[in-house]
Amino acid sequence: MQTISITDLSSVWGGADGDNNAFGRCGPGNRWQWLGNVYTPQCAAHDAAVRDGEASGDSKFMAHLKALPKLPAAIGSYIGARLRGQG
């Protein structure tokens, strides 16, 4: 069995990188605190699509553009969560 350090783990997608705690959070990373702390599966799907695009070599802009079809569901899930009093 091989042991992986936290430092090495941070370079793996889904590891403990600096912005990973925002994965699935509705909104741009940890910015826009006024949005609250709402995490939904739809926002996670959008985040995954962006990260997959970047991992495959797309620019940040193109990755976001390609993930655009997932954005309406993410926004709807955010609104629904806020109406239910989450975040």
Per-residue pLDDT tens digits for 49-83 = 999 999 999 999 999 999 999 999 999 999 999 99
What tokens were used for 14? Answer: 């889904």
Average pLDDT of the residues of the chain: 84
What tokens were used for 53? Answer: 């695009």
Helix (H) or strand (E) run with residue 75 in it: helix 71-83
CB-CB contact of 26 with 39 (8 Å): yes
Q: Which amino acid is at 42?
A: Q
Averaged over 16-44, what is the pLDDT?
83
High-pLDDT (> 70) share of the chain, %: 76
pLDDT tops 90 at residue 15: no
Q: 């069995």: which residue's tokens?
A: 1
Q: What angle do CA 13, 15, 18 make, to 5 degrees?
A: 100
Longest pairwise C-alpha distance within the chain: 47
- Cα–Cα distance for residue pair 27/6, rounded to 1 Å: 26
